[in-house]
Amino acid sequence: MNALHTPTETVRIDLADRSYDILIGENLLGEAGTYGQLPKAAAALIVTNTTVSPLYEAALRQALSVHYKSIHSIQLPDGEVYKDWLTLNLVFDSLLSRACDRKTVLFALGGGVVGDMTGFAAASFMRGVPFVQVPTTLLAQVDSSVGGKTAINHPMGKNMIGAFYQPQRVVCDLNVLKTLPARELSAGLAEIIKYGPISDMPFFDWIEANIDALKACQTQAMAHAVKRSCEIKAYVVGQDEREAGLRAILNFGHTFGHAIEAGLGYGEWLHGEAVACGMVMAANLSAELGLIDAAFVKRLTALIERAGLPIKGPVLNAQDNAGQYLALMLHDKKSVAGDIQFVLIEGPGKARVSAAPEAMVRAVIDRCCA
């Protein structure tokens, strides 16, 4: 082991026969050994996008050539706006035109959009083929690549069409984060920050102390942040794989955030930016309900702002902005019998999911929007 490199860490997702490892370290993507002990197959399909392909596809292809006789690839258009049926069908077209079989292994090389779409394609093609997540954004490494949620968007709601389908492995190569634009890096920090208020306040304290190192993508700080985030998510997913209860707390900020994404048009704000603003709104709602004090809301908001993320929501409708948010949130997957469900902080490090009075929600939206 090169002493200049951080050691490779492994976080286990414990789901009986669907268990798998998350590998976290440097220089993993292009190493053949990273992909050993995966299901045997004659062919692999790399699903990536037009931005990531020139950076990393050749290295992944070289590493996989040790394990697979044929390696195919497809480059999807880049962006949340393409997370739809039309683009998903390009993956199926690629698989079918190359006569791929049910043992073909799919490799998702990209951010959350590529990972979600590859996973959904793997869950659907021939009723299920193996796939591996190779996330190249911070947000994907700490959240979307872990836990088996796969989906595409619908114009009326984000991630509304999909399946729970676990990967065979997740490969988090810390080196790829160094090529991320600052905006993408900040978007990933939003999903790291969320783990503190819902589960682990010592981790939140650590993020506050190390936010500048994280923004600078310093390897040791990033290694700890990615590992701890994955550990928390691994525990939650292990307890509640299909989001029947506990797993819903991972959606802190997402009810408001998904409304922002749908209301502006997918891709206008990055997912992490919308979640960051959604966390500010959810924290304010928690305070209105008397669950946390104003000091914690201020502390969380300040950290989100230091991470380079928005703390004021956009105006989606000049006549009735709160009403527009509420209409969009009714399409959220957590809504039950017409009641919008929010992830609320009921004390630093602890979360719950419940509804809230509409008048209170409206007041929070009005206060938290620019």
Set 247, 273, 284, 288: catalytic member = 247
233 in catalytic set: yes
Cβ atoms of residues 268 and 251 within 8 Å = no
333 in catalytic set: no
End-to-end CA distance of the chain: 51
Set 61, 72, 83, 149: catalytic member = 149
Set 159, 251, 284, 321: catalytic member = 251
2 in catalytic set: no
69 in catalytic set: no
Structure token pair of residue 138: 């911070």
Distance from C-alpha of 84 to C-alpha of 288, rounded to nearest angstrom? 37
Displacement of CA 304 from its chain's centroid (Å): 17
- 154, exposed or middle or buried, with CB in 10 Å at 0-12, 13-18, 19+? middle
258 in catalytic set: yes
Question: Which among 133, 155, 151 has a CA at the least distance from the CA of 142?
Answer: 133
- 17, exposed or middle or buried, with CB in 10 Å at 0-12, 13-18, 19+? exposed
Contacts of 65 (CB under 8 A, 6+ apart): 32, 71
Set 228, 258, 333, 334: catalytic member = 258
Taken in order 94, 99, 101, 107, the sign of the CA dihedral is negative
Set 31, 80, 191, 241: catalytic member = 191
Distance from C-alpha of 255 to C-alpha of 158, rounded to nearest angstrom? 10
Set 158, 169, 233, 333: catalytic member = 233
Set 271, 273, 284, 333: catalytic member = 271
The secondary structure of residue 334, as a DSSP letter, is T
254 in catalytic set: yes
9 in catalytic set: no
67 in catalytic set: no
127 in catalytic set: yes
Set 31, 241, 243, 288: catalytic member = 243
Just list the catalytic residues: 127, 149, 191, 233, 243, 247, 251, 254, 258, 271
